[in-house]
A = this chain, B = another copy of it.
Amino acid sequence: MGKKVSIAVIRRLPRYYRYLSDLLKADIKRISSKELSERMGITASQIRQDLICFGGFGQQGYGYNIETLYSEIGKILGVDRRFTTVIIGAGNMGNALANYGNFKKRGYDLIGIFDISPDRVGKVINGLEIMHMDKLDDFIKKNKVDIAILTIPSQNISEVAERVAKLGVKGIWNFSPQDLHLSGNVIVENVHLSDGLMVLGYRIRESELKGV
């Protein structure tokens, strides 16, 4: 790779990856930035700019070789590597994520689910028995868990995040509405579901103004 790729570009890569995967499934071998632009709703110049960050796999008059591009983006995203994950918080969101099939396909193996509520501990979700939080520390250390997915209420988020960070997880995927800012080396991705809804609201309002 050589040069530093901006996080804004990185955030678009999973989307390219999904689209390219669909094209491969449809047995399409190559595509121009113009065609990809029409499919994805990103400008062709943005696509060219994004993809040139990775060595510019496009060729004049030919377009992009989909298989190469898919494989290169996959490498950059690290899909050749598997991550172990645990879900902490077996409420509705935890349950929904535990049953979400795409994560495994993308390299993320769920190996444990934890909760504190006696009503939940012992129940089975997607083949995994929910464990009590008392067992969390040993489990994370023993299994060298890479990522903790936090689906717990905001009031407990900092405490649990600090705890898993100390135990050596490398990343935290935070679904509580409160952003986490941790010191140290642990990487945090905060999920903000309402951001997507606000973008939808903006687009609706914009289309109304245009009188479409």
Contact = CB atoms under 8 A, between A and B. Distances in A.
Chain A, interface size category, equals 35 or more
Main secondary structure of the interface of A (DSSP, over half): helix
Contact of A195 (B15, B95, B202): B15
Number of copies: 2
Interface string A162-193: 00000000110100010100000101010111
Contact of A96 (B18, B96, B102, B146): B96
A202 B102 contact: no
A204 interface: yes
A197 B148 CA distance: 11
A100 interface: yes
Contacts of A135: none
Contact of A146 (B81, B93, B179, B204): B204
B91 A202 contact: no
B76 A193 contact: no
A106 interface: yes
A139 interface: no
A108 B91 CA distance: 23
Given A200-B171, A204-B147, A193 B100 contact: yes
5 contacts: A7-B41, A93-B93, A171-B200, A173-B196, A189-B203
Interface of A: 7-8, 10-11, 13-15, 17-18, 41, 46, 76-79, 81, 83, 91-93, 95-97, 99-103, 106-108, 146-147, 170-171, 173, 177, 179, 185, 187, 189, 191-205, 207-208, 212
